[in-house]
Chain A
Amino acid sequence: MGIVSTDLHKAGAIAVSVKDVGMVFGDVHAVRSASFDLPKGKFLTILGPSGSGKTTLLRMIAGFDNPTSGEIFINGQPVSAVPPHRRAIGMVFQKLALFPHMTAAENVAFPLKMRRHDARTIGEKVERYLELVRLGGYGGRRINELSGGQQQRVAIARALVFEPDLLLLDEPLAALDRKLREEMQLEFRRIQKELGVTTINVTHDQREALVVSDEVIVMDGGEIQQKAQPVHTYRSPANAFVANFIGVTNFIDGKVSAISGSTVSVESNGQLLSGVTAADGAPLVPGTACSGAVRAEQIRIASARAGLEGLETIVEGQVADSIFEGERIVYEVTVPVLGGAILRVFNHDPVSHLQFGPGENVRLGWNAKDMHVFKK
C-alpha cells in the first residue's frame, strides 16, 4: 500500500517521460534513443539546428506520429496507444495553423466545443483566455484581420484554453522580427509562470533557450547532446557541439599532456596550457587529441601586460579585423604561438573608448580554468 502510493506520488511529479525514443523515416534516423524526464510545471526548451529532430520529437509527444522505438509517458502513463485528440496536450504550431474560416474567438472556443462544454462556460473561458494573451475585445476579428503577433496570441490562447497537461511550442516565434520575437518570448514566460503549465518549447534560437527556460536540451543529428539548466549549459557545455552552438566560442586544438581530477594540461603547437578544465564526462587520458574551448567574452584584450593582471594564460597576437557591433566590438586576433589560430574576442568597454586597428600588436589573456577541454 505504502509503496504504491509513493510510486503514484513519484509518477505525479513527472509530467513527461521520454524513454529511449527513436524515429526512423526510411533510412533517416530523425531521433535516436532520446530519453529525458520533465517535472510538472517546468519550462523545457529543446534547442538545436534545423534538421536535428526537434519537430519529430514534439510530434511524437503530441501523438501525430508514433515512435519506431521506445515509449513516451505522460503523467506516468504510456501513450503510444492514445490518439492525439485524447492526449490533453496544447500545441502552438510553427505556422500557427489557426482555422482560417473562424474568428479569433471561434478558434479559441474550438477545443472547448470539442469537449462539449456548455455555451456559457465556453463564452466565459474564451473571454478569460483572450484577456490572458492581451487580446480582450479582438474575439470577433477574422484571423486574416490580425497582425502576426496577434495571431500568435490567438494560437497560444487556443492551446491553453482547455487547461492541457502539457503545452508544446514548435518554433512559433521563428517567423517574427527580432523585437516582436523577444517580446513574445517574455510573454510565453509570463503566461507559463501565471498558469504553471508544463511546457516544451522548440527553437533554434540560443538566446530564446537561455532566456525563457528552466531546462535546456541541446539536440544535434537526432541525439540529445546535453540536458541542463540554461546557466549550466552555457558555462559547462557537455561537448564541443554544445560549446560551439551556444555563444561565440574559440577552439584551440591540442593534445592532453597531464590530468589531475578535472584539471588538465593541454599541449598545443608546443605551448603548454595548464590548469584547464575537463568538460563533464569527457574521457581523457594523456595523449588524447582534444580541443580547448574558450568563450569570446572570457578573453580580455590589451596592448600590454598591464591590462591583463591576474589572468593565467596570456598570448601575443595581431589584430586581423575589428567589427563594431554597437554595444561591443568583436576583434579577430591571429595568434602565431597557437599555430596562427584566429581567436574572436569581445570588448565590452565603451567607457575607455579603447580601440585597436587591424595590424596592431595586442595581448590576449584569460583564466586558465575558463577553457574547457573536449575529446576530439
Chain B
Amino acid sequence: MTGSRSKSIVIWAFVVTALLMLSAPTIVVLGASFTAGNIITFPPEGLSLKWYGAIAQASDLRQAFFRSLIVATICTLISIPVGTLAGIALSKYRVRFARTIQIYLLLPFTIPLIGSGIGMMLVFGEMGALGKLWPVGIATCVINLPFMIWAVTASASNLSPDLELAAANCGAPPLQRFLYITLPAVLPGIITGSLLMFILALNEFLVSLLLVDARSVTLPVQIYNSIRSIITPDLAAISVVFIACAGVAIALLDRLVGLDIFLKSK
C-alpha cells in the first residue's frame, strides 16, 4: 500500500519536473515579450504590448514572416500528394526495397541537417536557384517528408485490405476505390502530416540559412541575424507569434482528427 503510494509520489515528481523543464523556455519567452523595458529580461519590467506593436511595424520581420509562410505552403503542397501516395504504397503493397525505404525514413534523425543542407545548396547552386523561395520549400519538404509518410502509414495500416475488395465487389473501379475508400481512411494521417510539415517548414532554420540570400531571408534566419546585433524584446514577441502558430496547428489538429493519432501511432 505505502509502497505503491510512494511510487506514485516519485512518478508525479518526475512528471512535474519534466513539465516544468519543457515549458520553462516558453514561459520565459512569453513573459519577456510583454516587457515595457527596452532589454529582454525575465521577469519582465512592467507589462505592455509595445513590442508586438513594434514587430507589426517592422517591415523586414513582417516580410520574413510572409516568406516563411510561402516556404511552408510550398513544402506542404508538395508533401501532400507525394507523402500520401508514398505512405499508402508503403503500407499497402509489398514494395521492393521496403527495408531500404524504412531506413531512409529514419535518416532525418541520423544524418545531420548540415549535411543534407550543404548537399541541397550545391544542387540548387548548380541550378542558379539560390536566393529564390521555392528551393527552400522543396528542401524543407525533402528533409521533413518522412514525417508526412510516417503519419500517412500510421493511419493506412488501420485500413483493412478487405475494404477495397468490398468496394470492388460493390462495383467501384480502381480510381473510385481510391477516392471513396482509401483516401477517407488515411485522411486523418494526411491532415496530421500536413500540419506537421507546415510547422516544421515554418520553423526550419539551418537549411534555410544555407539556401537564402539577403533578399530572401525567412523568419528564423531573420531572427538569427537580429540576435547577432542587439537582442531586443521584439525577438521574444516574434517567438511568441511562432509558438502561437504551432498552437493553432495543434488546436486545428485536435478539432479535425483528434490528437490520439499521436498517442496511438507507433
* A positions within 8 Å CB-CB of B: 62-64, 83-86, 88-91, 93, 95, 97-101, 110-111, 114-115, 158-159, 162
Contact-residue size bin, chain B (C-beta under 8 Å from the other chain): 10 to 19
Complex: how many Å from CA A93 to CA B160? 12
Q: Among residues 131 to 189 in chain B, which have CB atoms less than 8 Å away from a CB atom of chain A? A: 160, 162-163, 165-173, 176, 180-181, 184-185
- For A101, the chain B residues whose CB sits under 8 A away are 184-185
- For B169, the chain A residues whose CB sits under 8 A away are 62, 84-85, 89-91, 159
* B positions within 8 Å CB-CB of A: 160, 162-163, 165-173, 176, 180-181, 184-185
- For B167, the chain A residues whose CB sits under 8 A away are 99, 110
Q: Which of B162, B170, B173, B180 contacts A95 (CB 8 A)?
A: B162
What is the CB-to-nearest-CB distance from A166 to chain B, in angstroms, rounded to a whole number? 11
11 further A-B pairs in the complex, CB-CB below 8 A; given A90-B169, A115-B171, A162-B170: A62-B169, A63-B168, A64-B165, A85-B173, A88-B171, A89-B169, A93-B166, A95-B160, A97-B166, A111-B170, A111-B171
Assess A110 versus B160: contact at CB under 8 Å? Given A93-B166, A162-B171: no
- For A83, the chain B residues whose CB sits under 8 A away are 168, 173
25 contacts between A and B (CB under 8 A): A62-B165, A62-B169, A64-B165, A64-B168, A84-B168, A85-B169, A85-B170, A85-B171, A90-B169, A97-B160, A97-B163, A97-B165, A98-B166, A99-B163, A99-B167, A99-B180, A99-B181, A101-B185, A110-B180, A111-B170, A111-B171, A115-B171, A158-B170, A159-B169, A162-B171
What is the CB-to-nearest-CB distance from A64 to chain B, in angstroms, rounded to a whole number? 5
- For A115, the chain B residues whose CB sits under 8 A away are 171
Chain B residue, CB-CB nearest to A162? B171
Q: Say whether B170 contacts A110, CB under 8 Å.
A: yes
Complex: how many Å from CA A86 to CA B162? 17
Assess A97 versus B168: contact at CB under 8 Å? Given A85-B173, A110-B180, A114-B176: no
Assess A84 versus B165: contact at CB under 8 Å? Given A110-B170, A162-B171: yes
What is the CB-to-nearest-CB distance from A199 to chain B, in angstroms, rounded to a whole number? 15
Complex: how many Å from CA A64 to CA B173? 13
How many pairs, one residue from A and one from B, have CB atoms within 8 Å of each other in the complex? 57
Complex: how many Å from CA A90 to CA B171? 9
Closest 8 interchain pairs by CB?
Answer: A97-B166, A97-B162, A111-B170, A114-B171, A84-B168, A91-B169, A101-B184, A114-B172
Complex: how many Å from CA A303 to CA B169? 60
Chain A residue, CB-CB nearest to B166? A97
Complex: how many Å from CA A111 to CA B152? 27
What is the CB-to-nearest-CB distance from A287 to chain B, in angstroms, rounded to a whole number? 52
What is the CB-to-nearest-CB distance from A23 to chain B, in angstroms, rounded to a whole number? 16
- For A64, the chain B residues whose CB sits under 8 A away are 165, 168
Complex: how many Å from CA A86 to CA B173? 8
- For A159, the chain B residues whose CB sits under 8 A away are 169
Complex: how many Å from CA A241 to CA B163? 35
Complex: how many Å from CA A84 to CA B162? 13
Complex: how many Å from CA A353 to CA B184? 63
What is the CB-to-nearest-CB distance from B41 to chain A, in angstroms, rounded to a whole number? 52
Complex: how many Å from CA A158 to CA B169? 10
Chain B residue, CB-CB nearest to A90? B169
What is the CB-to-nearest-CB distance from A55 to chain B, in angstroms, rounded to a whole number? 11
- For A99, the chain B residues whose CB sits under 8 A away are 163, 166-167, 180-181
Complex: how many Å from CA A152 to CA B167? 17
- For A62, the chain B residues whose CB sits under 8 A away are 165, 169
- For A84, the chain B residues whose CB sits under 8 A away are 165, 168-169
Complex: how many Å from CA A158 to CA B163? 13
Complex: how many Å from CA A98 to CA B162? 9
- For B162, the chain A residues whose CB sits under 8 A away are 93, 95, 97
- For B168, the chain A residues whose CB sits under 8 A away are 63-64, 83-85
What is the CB-to-nearest-CB distance from B49 to chain A, in angstroms, rounded to a whole number? 45
